[in-house]
Amino acid sequence: MEYFKNTVDIKLVALDMDGTLLNNQGQVSKANREAIKAAKDKGIYVVLSTGRSILTVRDHADDLELTSYLVTVNGSEVWNEKRELVERNLVNTEHIQWMWDLSKQHKTRFWAINSEKTWHNEMPEDLHKWEWLKFGFTIDDDMTRELVLKELISRGEFELTNSTLKNIEVNATGINKARGLSVVCSKLGIEMENVMAVGDSRNDLMMIQEAGLGIAMGNAQDIVKETADCITATNEEDGVAKAIQKWVLDNK
């Protein structure tokens, strides 16, 4: 841990939201809020990098007075400081149709995000009229989840992650939070090695791997903890604030 503290020059902090920045009540704690402000005051970019769409990210970003980029829908979209779209990466509508059929076949719950809204356990009458960004399965039964995952993998056409142990998140192949952050870094003129990325789930793995400093939350999935450079406290214990303090503020 001290190695990273002493050698990585953090210029950008990338934060997952659910299970990371937000506590279990979906709120940003006072400590997290203060740490983010302190980082911003020192000229550090703070970027929300999340599986959520812009519709449920914008209010949090505005509330935190973030004036930097946003990476949404697991990297399917990148937004600039004016909340203007920089990049959008779509899932083919035929693939969305196939996954919807797959969910019906296995009787799973699902959600799907297009450029206008998030659909839960229902779909528009003509899904081919929409631009789709992500499809997600929520499956409580382990055996069913494995069957669905195997079918998805066999297609070889998707980026497969999760945000909880009970779900599967599907983006277009090659689209993930790390790729979204690389777009942000190129716009800002910094390198991924100057990024500290913090997360808790499989959809955070790539950004944790590719960042100069990857931090797993104390409540993170085991694979995330094994991949990360360091582990902070849980989302109920101000883990984001503690990570920013230790590896960013104390190092400036």
Q: What is the CATH number of the domain that holds 246?
A: 3.40.50.1000
pLDDT tens-place string over residues 62-75: 999 999 999 999 99
129 shares its domain with 186: no
82 and 192 share a domain?
A: yes
Q: Are residues 56 and 102 in the same domain?
A: no
If one counts the domains in the chain, the total is 2
What integer pLDDT is reported at residue 252 of this predicted model? 64
- Are residues 191 and 168 located together in one domain of the fold? no
The domain that holds 144 is classified in CATH as 3.30.1240.10
Which of residues 140, 172, 204 is at a domain's end?
172
182 and 159: one domain?
Answer: no
pLDDT value of residue 2: 41
**Same domain as 186, residue 164:** no
Give pLDDT, residue 7.
73
Q: Are residues 100 and 141 in the same domain?
A: yes
Residue with tokens 């693939």, as numbered in its chain: 95
Question: How far apart are the C-alpha atoms of 111 and 138, rounded to whole Å?
Answer: 8
DSSP symbol at 61: H
Catalytic center residues: 16
Is the same domain home to 17 and 135?
no
pLDDT at 123 over 70: yes
| pTM (predicted TM-score) | 0.95
Q: Can you spell out the DSSP letters for 180-220? A: HHHHHHHHHT--GGGEEEEESSGGGHHHHHHSSEEEE-TT-
**Amino acid (1-letter code) at residue 24:** N
The average pLDDT across 204-210 equals: 98
Q: Is the domain of 83 the same as that of 189?
A: yes
User: What pLDDT was estimated at residue 8?
Assistant: 81
Give tens-digit pLDDT for 219-246.
999 999 999 999 999 999 999 999 999 9
The domain in which residue 59 lies consists of 2-88+176-251
pLDDT at 68 (0 to 100): 93
Region 112-128: mean pLDDT is 96
